[in-house]
Amino acid sequence: MIKFINAKLNLGLNIVRKREDGYHDLETVFYPVGLYNGTPENPEPFCDILEITPGENTEFVFTGRKVDCPLEKNLVYKAWKIFKDNYPRLKDYKIHLEKHLPDGAGLGGGSADASGVLLMLNELSGYPFDKEELLEMALCLGADCPFFILNRPCYAEGVGEILEQIDLDLSGWWCLLVKPYVSISTKEAFAGVRPCKPDKSLREIVGLSVKDWQGLMVNDFEGSLFPGHPILGDIKNKLNDLGAVYTAMSGSGSTVFGLFQNREKSLEAAERFGDCYVSVCKL
C-alpha cells in the first residue's frame, strides 16, 4: 500500500494564553496543502511517500531527505509502536518513508507521516479502530497529528487538538511556499510569544473573502520570530510586492506562504526566490 502524504498550512495562528501546565492555548485554521500536486495542471511533487508492505520482520526504511534523529524518536516509528501497543495482533510490515517535505518548516510533515502510518496500518488490519480512537492515538504523537487523520479544513483550539471541521473552500487559489535555509525549533518559537486574546476570532475572519484577510488574520509567531530572523519578514514583504493576496508564516516554522489568484502569477513569483526552497501548490 502506498500513500502520498500532504502537508498543512496554518492560515492564521493566535497564541491566546499560557496554561498552568506550561503549554499554550491557541486558535488556528488548518488547511491541507499539496493534495493536487502531481496532477497535469500542477505536476511539481509536494508530498512525502509512505509505502507499507508485508514483511517477514518489522522493518523501517527512510530515503529522500535525511531524517536526523534516532529511530525511537522518529514519528513514523512512534506511530507504529502506539498502534502495535493498542493492537498486539499487528502483522509484520516493511515501512518505507521517502521524505520530500522540508523539516522545521511549520508544514507538519512529520505529523502527517505519523498519521499516515496510523491510517494505513488501520486499513491493512481490517479497521480495528474508528476515527475517534485514531484521533486519540494521533494526539499522543503530537498536537498537529489529529488534523491529518481528518485532513480537511479545520478550526482548532487548545494546543491544536480540539478540531472543528469548517466549510472553507480555497479551490482556484494557488499557494507559493517559500522556506529559507533556516529551521526554527518549537522551543525558540514559543520563547518570545506574548499570549493575547485577539479582538476578532479566526473563526469569523476565515468567513470573509480572502482579499480581506490581510491585516485581520495574523500568525502571532511572526512578531517574536521576525526580529531574530529578518529574512522571514523580507520574504513576506516580497510576496506582497509580487502580488500575493494574503501572506503569512505557517505554524511555528520558517515557511512563509502567499496566496495567488492564478497559477501564472504564483509561478512568476516563485522564480524570484532562487536561494530558498520553493513550491507552488494548487489549493
Nearest CA-CA partner of 235 in 108, 112, 111, 106: 106
SS3 278: strand
Distance in Å from the first CA to the final CA of the chain: 25
Residue of 144, 179, 236, 282 marked catalytic: 144
- Known active-site residue 144: yes
Cα gap 17→194, rounded to integer Å = 8
CB crowding 15-28: b at 16 or more within 10 Å, else e: bbeeeeeeebbbbb
Contact 144, 8 (CB under 8 A): yes
Cell of 278: 520553493
- 8 is annotated as an active-site residue: yes
Q: Give the active site residue among 3, 8, 78, 236.
A: 8
Residue listed under C-alpha cell 480495528? 128
E strands within the chain?
2-5, 7-18, 24-33, 48-54, 59-64, 93-99, 154-157, 162-165, 174-179, 246-249, 256-260, 277-282
DSSP string, 35-77: TTTTBTTB-S--SEEEEEEE-SS-EEEEEES---S-GGG-HHH
**C-alpha closest to that of 116 among 102, 103, 99, 104:** 99
- Catalytic positions, written as ranges: 8, 144
